Amino acid sequence: MPRSMLHVIAGPTGAGKSAIALALAERHGAVIISADSRQIYRGFDIGTAKPTREERHRVPHEGIDVAEPTERWSAARWAEAAYGWIASAASRGQHIIVCGGTGFWLKALLHPLAPQAPLDPVRRTVLDAALATLDMETLRRWVAVLDPARAPLGRTQLVRAAEVALLTGARLSDAFAEQSAAPAYRAHWLIVDPGAELHERLAARIDAMFAAGWEAEVRAIIATVPADAPAWNACGYRAVRELVQGERSHASASKAVLIATRQYAKRQRTWFRHQLTATDEVTRLDPTAADAEAQAERWFRQGAAS
């Protein structure tokens, strides 16, 4: 792939990345490519903070609603699709903004992964059923033995690490270690993070999701999507499903979603802090700053001029 410039807006969940990307894309006629591992799923809208239909009408988006809830998308599969979306936008002379917080997907886009052996679908289904019965600490202990480098990660990444190790005999961390040293693209990074205020922003966003009909959305999804579908791993959806099924109170579900979301944001912050180095082109933006819009505009223009 040519080493052309990509505008990449990243950071923890709920930080305000999408609003900044939307404003810049509308102003500059850009295409937004979502790097969010849960917004790919059709029907899982409110809890993933998916762009609204009106926003997607104003600005073209790629990477939204491209998968059925039962499909599995790896970082490599998304990156391959993203190459096509990028090439299509570039052929039309449009700017491209990659926006999202799934760090491994962004890394796979910029530094292509080493090829991985396919997982046998029958054995994988049986294994996943067994892994689903494990609590987080037990699953983490398994991965600490199977692939220690992946052990600090979230549940979805832990399951993936266990799958690859047990079904192929290889470690997923080795595939990441073998990523291409030469990047497919140059990335012009904007890391959006409001600092300590993020905790309160997340709480307010979760309240807004419930007010927007999250329970009704999940009630409709339950009727058509099996309980073991990968899309249910989207942050908060299992807790809301338990609420709808009468297994939790609203207060319990809301608290569980908030805890899980804050933990996810913490892992995202850690990833971007450790993965981006002094050699990367990084601008950090507090979206609550009085001149945040002007800072974002300067960042965009600097990347466009590179």
Please choose, from the candidates 128, 174, 179, the residue with its C-alpha nearest in 3D space to the C-alpha of residue 147: 174
Percent of the chain with pLDDT over 70: 94
Of 179 and 26, more confident = 26
Question: What's this model's pTM, rounded to 2 decimal places?
Answer: 0.82
Percent of the chain with pLDDT over 90: 70
Domains by residue range for the chain, with CATH: 5-112+184-305 (3.40.50.300), 121-175 (1.10.20.140)
Q: Which token pair is 27? A: 């102003």
pLDDT score for 2: 41
The residues near 231 (Cβ < 8 Å, ≥ 6 apart) are: 38, 41, 43, 44, 67, 69, 70, 225, 237
Going by pLDDT thresholds of 50, 70 and 90, the confidence category of residue 296 is very high
Packing angle of the helix pair 214-222, 237-244 (nearest 10 deg): 80
Of 3 and 197, more confident = 197
**pLDDT, mean of residues 143-161:** 86
CA distances from 4 to 27, 71, 221 (A): 21, 31, 40
pLDDT score for 34: 97
pLDDT score for 279: 72
pLDDT score for 293: 96
Phi, psi of 115 (to 5 degrees): -60, 145
Terminal alpha carbon distance of the chain: 18
pLDDT score for 3: 47
